[in-house]
Amino acid sequence: MTQKYTRRSFIRASAQAAGSVAVVGITGCGIDTTDNPSPTSMESITDGAQYFPQSVASGDPKPDSIVLWSRIEDTASNSDVLPVLVQVSTDTSFSNVITEFSMGGVPESDGSLKLRVSGLSSDTIYYYRFLYDKESVFHSSRVGRTKTAADENSTRDIKFAYVSCQDYVGRYYNTYLRLLDEDLDFIVHLGDYVYETTGDPSFQSANGERLVSFRDESGAIQIGEGENSYFSASSLDNYRQLYQTVRSDEVLQQIHERFPMIAIWDDHEFSDDSHGATSTITSGREPELNTQRKQNAEQAYFEFMPIDTLSQGTSPLFVLPGQLYPNTKIYRDFTFGRNLHLVMTDFRTYRPDHLIPEDGFPGTVVMSRFELTTALAAIGVPYEAVAENFTAYLNIDSETFSAYKPALTGTLTQAYMGEGLSEESAGAKANEAISGNLAADAINGLLAQYNAAVPAEMQLPLITEQVIDTLDRGVAYMTMGKTQLFSSLGSRYFVVKDVYDLYAGYRYALFGSTQDAYGAAQENWYQQTLLSSQARWKVVGSSVSHTSLILDLTNPALGVPAPFNQKFYLNLDHWDGFGGKRDELIQQTLSNVPGSVLLAGDIHASFVSDHGQGTYEFTNTSVSSGVFRDLLAATAANDPLLSSIPGITQLIQSADILLQSANPSIAYANTNVNGVAVVTASSDSMTVNMYEADKESTFQSAYTAAADYVSAMQTRTFMIDNDGNLTQS
């Protein structure tokens, strides 16, 4: 059974592990060691790194506090509670210990030790360690270094890195090597700290060393069958194992040992392309709302990440059920003197589903002629002028077509069964789909399948072109590029842009909630926080990019035939899927906030974008995950329709040029590298250095040849000056 923290286990851990809490304050108050033995000399401390296999970490720096983290493991111990003493000092020798805190590692938290230390001095480097009291000998973790935030009056430059997407399976964290020699105040992690899958062949390349094999395989989700199968995390132990494995990496440990981290999640901490507690593994073949799985993912995240959970004073940070989904709140902000206000957002927890469902029947008409005419009128386009570009449809429930309905329903039932649905589920889904307005082409496609399966005397005539020419036109899912019963293509990826914009805009005008990616509470906080900020630079950390990624295949010189010679959105799981809300936030909030800058990740590519009115976005590529260009190529190669486009391979190799030509706001694009980025915020400028590495270099460890690896990385430098001008050098 999965163990979770309850109020009783919280009290047990606090009481049994700590005895009486012992804290040495900044003012030098004494410490009562009656119930809490403390090391009296260096001789009483020995190397105990083996008991802290994930080393140490710190995070969420504020002027007077920091979060410290480690995890203790002693398989030889018979005790449920492993007593630990946390020490904080101003020097590496711990001759000036300013704080000690007794706590305990317990099974309910997987041995994770998380402590919020308050009463610290601003803009100060501290050193910390965790001491395991085992048989009257203190066994020490490695020593961590951390730093508190500058106070509100500080005018010094603030320097930090931001990263995202660090797939462990088959890859190495070489790009982090570039940061180890930097003098950083902190590191921002924009999500995909772990990946929930053990070897997804669509984007993960396993080798002999970098693997995840779940201990609790029965608690995981098996995807595929036989040799092609792999697993996705589901149980609490699955998610904990992901963090245990990833945090075992020696370079990532060094990063955490040296710099505090401010982190948010994206999707892979739970499940790819997820929203709320709903994943997209089966593309709608099965219901995927799973609150328990989401809570398991969040509990492991809060256990392992040095994120503050809004406690007060110096205290241990336990994960309590009331903190988990649907009560989750990780959006928060940080100030670093007068030059930086960092606003960290949550794109996943409160957002609605993708507007085009992965299981939507391609022939379902979602905009009738009346609705299409209304939407077109709003942009000044007459229906008659463009009707031929849309989909002819009919009402299958009308008496005229009553003979068709049983044949269509039966044929579609068989198609759904062929996709793995049970006969009952397939029948119910087919009955739901074969109703109301349906695209004539979809009807003819099903009729052709029906006629091929029955004797000649039972066959039904297709709807003729003459009849089709008389039908009203509207928007079906297939009009936006969705051609399969269950698929991310045409729903999340490779969606016809102009038609989607029309549909999404119409829905947004009627139902604003369709694009409430932040949720009402977070959006209000976001706006008020930014609009009231007095910092020189207001930096928004977003797990996904606001930059539109459009593949424009309309140019005749490209030689792309109809119906593929259109503009496509490449990823509607990003802000492109919520374009109306994105534009509203940029135009109504960010444009009114001088010095506003967006930092983003997730897409495994580097983009620098000018959103106008002084708002810039720097989307950094992945630490190690497969690059965007390769992901595009794999998607195209594995889809019969996309792979049939003449020259599609060459087009994807030209992705950078095509993306920039389709979206002039993109000042820089590189979809074929891994990397990290460093930002310096000063009173008169903001500089962003993007450090990029050859994508092939992630497959082999460079840990013993760090200098050579770092020297081979390319640097792209961008600067925003006091007048809001962007330059590249």
Q: Given a cut of 50, is residue 1 above it in pLDDT?
A: no
Q: 429-458 burial string, b = 16+ CB within 10 Å, else e?
A: bbeebbeebbbbbbbbbbbeebbeeeeeee
Q: Given a cut of 70, is residue 6 above it in pLDDT?
A: no
Q: Given a cut of 50, is residue 4 above it in pLDDT?
A: no
H/E element holding 375? helix 369-378
Q: What angle do CA 191, 197, 200 make, to 5 degrees?
A: 115
For the chain, give the mean pLDDT: 93
The tens digit of pLDDT for each residue in 225-261 reads: 888 899 999 999 999 999 999 999 999 999 999 999 9
**What's the pLDDT at 35?**
47
What average pLDDT does the segment 693-714 reach? Answer: 97
**What's the pLDDT at 202?**
87
Closest CA to 355 of 610, 579, 614, 634: 579
Q: What is the largest CA-CA distance in the chain?
A: 97
Q: Given a cut of 70, is residue 26 above it in pLDDT?
A: no
Closest CA to 680 of 719, 724, 713: 719
**Where does the pLDDT of residue 564 fall: very low under 50, low under 70, confident under 90, or very high at 90 and above?**
very high
Q: Is 423 exposed, middle or buried (0-12, 13-18, 19+ CB in 10 A)?
A: exposed
The tens digit of pLDDT for each residue in 321-331 reads: 889 999 999 99
Residue labelled with tokens 């008169």: 684
Q: Given a cut of 60, is residue 13 above it in pLDDT?
A: no
Instruction: Tell me which of 6 and 677 has the higher pLDDT.
Output: 677
Give the Cα separation of 269 and 601 in Å (integer). 14
Task: Please state the domain extents for the chain.
Answer: 365-489
What average pLDDT does the segment 505-526 reach? Answer: 96
Give the Cα separation of 506 and 496 in Å (integer). 16
**Where does the pLDDT of residue 360 fall: very low under 50, low under 70, confident under 90, or very high at 90 and above?**
very high
Instruction: Tell me which of 208 and 250 has the higher pLDDT.
Output: 250
With a CB cutoff of 8 Å and minimum separation 6, the contacts of 657 are none
Give the Cα separation of 56 and 493 in Å (integer). 39
**Where does the pLDDT of residue 37 fall: very low under 50, low under 70, confident under 90, or very high at 90 and above?**
low
**What's the pLDDT at 391?**
98
Q: Which two tokens stand for residue 538?
A: 């207001």
**Where does the pLDDT of residue 36 fall: very low under 50, low under 70, confident under 90, or very high at 90 and above?**
low
The tens digit of pLDDT for each residue in 299-314 reads: 999 999 999 976 677 8
What average pLDDT does the segment 640-646 reach? Answer: 88
How much of the chain, in percent, has pLDDT values that exceed 90? Answer: 87
H/E element holding 547? none
Q: Is 385 exposed, middle or buried (0-12, 13-18, 19+ CB in 10 A)?
A: exposed
The tens digit of pLDDT for each residue in 363-402 reads: 999 999 999 999 999 999 999 999 999 999 999 999 999 8
- C-beta separation of 301 from 293 below 8 A: no
